Amino acid sequence: NIDLTGKHCLTINDFSVKEIKHLLQEAHDIKYKQKKGIKTNDLEGKTLGMIFEKASTRTRVSFEVGMQQLGGQAIFLNGNDMQLNRGESTADTAKVLSRYVDGLMIRTFEHETIEAFAENADVPVINGLTDPHHPTQVLADLMTIEENKGNLNGLKMAFIGDGNNNMTHSLMEGAAKVGMDMVVASPKGYEPNAEIMENAQKEAQQAFGATISLTDDPQEAVYDADVIVTDVWASMGDEAEEEKRKATFAPYQVNDELCQSAKDDFIFLHCLPAHRGEEVTASIIDGKHSVVFDEAENRLHAQKALMKETI
């Protein structure tokens, strides 16, 4: 009796603990059915509009293919080619597109932009990445961890690298929803947004007695970890700081030496795209602990679940 119809997905926090569990169950079920060749036409005749103001490989293709597999269709809109780019308001764009499509996916910079879309749209809006949040990636990540470990509650996840980016924030919110302990290791000046972190800490504590903490020591973070995650050092929009960040983040590379104190059967996640030799060595991302391609595949299944439930 969980009904998510019409709900926006701007952050992981748009969903309760129970709703996240429900979405993950649906995602596993959809993946199982696809592997068995069972067709699902839950979104027959429905259209998803996808606005991209930043580059994408996985998000674009997985939403488009997912919509097709559900019997619907998706339309790719390059933000640069839209009237948005010539000053048409977000509000008018959202109102107009709502007359044509049944759901909107948006990848943009400021989170306020997607909030304005959601306020003005009459159809569900899905965040395909903003500067501070990447919720659909984290749904796929939780699904991948559960698939590999059999459970989520009680695991320890270490995030190593840029604490102040979309992946860290959404992973903290995700960990809180499923009762995973999480330690973020970031250099000084790159800590997570304090408000997002405090909210996640409170929810983790109240719902599960789980903890989310911060350190600048990557060794401390990976100690006894079941799951190790990293992300690029310079996210889309941070290009001007690339060289400076390479120096600051060098001690935060996920490599064999760092991972020695993790559990023997730890898994490694990275949302991709990755830079081998920077945030992670080839030995780790291409090694036996890595599940990054399952993780990329699971974008498809998790987003089909999200679209089936909300659109």
- What residues are designated binding site for carbamoyl phosphate? 56-59, 83, 107, 134-137, 271-272, 299
Of these, 8, 9, 23, 56, which contacts ligand CP (CB under 6 A)? 56
271 binds ligand CP (CB under 6 A): yes
Among 41, 57, 68, 83, binds ligand CP (CB under 6 A): 57
Catalytic residue, candidates 8, 131, 133, 137: 137
Which residue numbers belong to the known binding site?
Answer: 56-59, 83, 107, 134-137, 166, 231, 235-236, 271-272, 299
Phi, psi of 129 (to 5 degrees): 120, 125
Is 9 among the catalytic positions? no
CB-count burial class (<10 Å; 0-12, 13-18, 19+) for 82: middle
Binding test (CB under 6 A) with ligand NVA, winner from 90, 165, 303, 310:
165
Query: β-pairing, 125-127 with 156-160?
Result: unpaired
Residue 8 interacting with ligand CP (CB under 6 A) = no
Strand pairing category for 227-230 and 267-270: parallel
CB within 8 Å of 32: residues ≥ 6 apart: none
Asked whether position 232 contacts ligand NVA by CB under 6 A, the answer is: yes
Residue position matching structure tokens 């992300």: 231
Q: Which residues contact 86 (CB under 8 A, 6 or more apart)?
A: none
Which residue lies nearest ligand CP, judged by its C-beta? 59
Please, what is the Cα angle at 299 between 102 and 111, to 5 degrees?
A: 65
Q: For the chain, where are the alpha helices, taking DSSP H only?
A: 17-36, 58-69, 90-98, 111-120, 135-149, 166-178, 194-208, 218-222, 242-249, 256-259, 282-285, 292-310
Residue nearest to ligand NVA (CB): 235
Q: Which of 236, 248, 255, 294 binds ligand NVA (CB under 6 A)?
A: 236
Per CB under 6 A, does 50 bind ligand CP? Answer: no
Query: Given the rule CB under 6 A, which of 5-13, 76-84, 230-238, 287-295 is the region that contacts ligand NVA?
Result: 230-238
Sort strands 156-160 and 73-78 into parallel, antiparallel or unpaired: unpaired
Q: Is 231 an interacting residue with respect to ligand NVA (CB under 6 A)?
A: yes
In the complex, which residues of this chain contact ligand CP (CB under 6 A)? Answer: 56-59, 129, 137, 271-272
In the complex, which residues of this chain contact ligand NVA (CB under 6 A)? Answer: 129, 165-167, 231-232, 235-236, 271
